[in-house]
Amino acid sequence: MSIDQQIADLRAVVERANPPEVMTTEECAAFLNVTTETLFSWRKKGGGPRFSKPTDRMVRYLRSDVVTWLEGNRA
């Protein structure tokens, strides 16, 4: 494994462990360990974590909403 790949892998671990307060779809998907397509499907069906749509082409997730959704969906 190259040093660049090791750095990229480490960066991904750090970002997943400490996500930003406001996440993009890609960041939220990485945090939840699902695909962006899964988040899109959940939004379309009215499921998944709460999200905001500041513009027609922008979706954002609050970390607190994602954590609340996870806590409410424990088995």
Q: Which of 58, 67, 54 is nearest to 19 (CA)?
A: 67
Please indicate, yes or no, whether the overall pTM of this predicted structure exceeds 0.85: no
pLDDT in tens, 19-35: 789 999 999 998 999 99
Inform me whether the pLDDT recorded for 65 exceeds 80.
yes
Please report where in the chains the tokens 């709460």 appear, as a residue. Answer: 50
**3-state class of 38 per DSSP?**
helix
Q: With respect to CATH, is domain 3-72 assigned 1.10.10?
A: yes
Per-residue confidence (pLDDT) for residue 75, from 0 to 100 = 81
Q: What are phi and psi of 58, to 5 degrees?
A: -130, 130
Q: Which of 14, 11, 13, 23 is nearest to 63 (CA)?
A: 23
Per-residue confidence (pLDDT) for residue 49, from 0 to 100 = 97
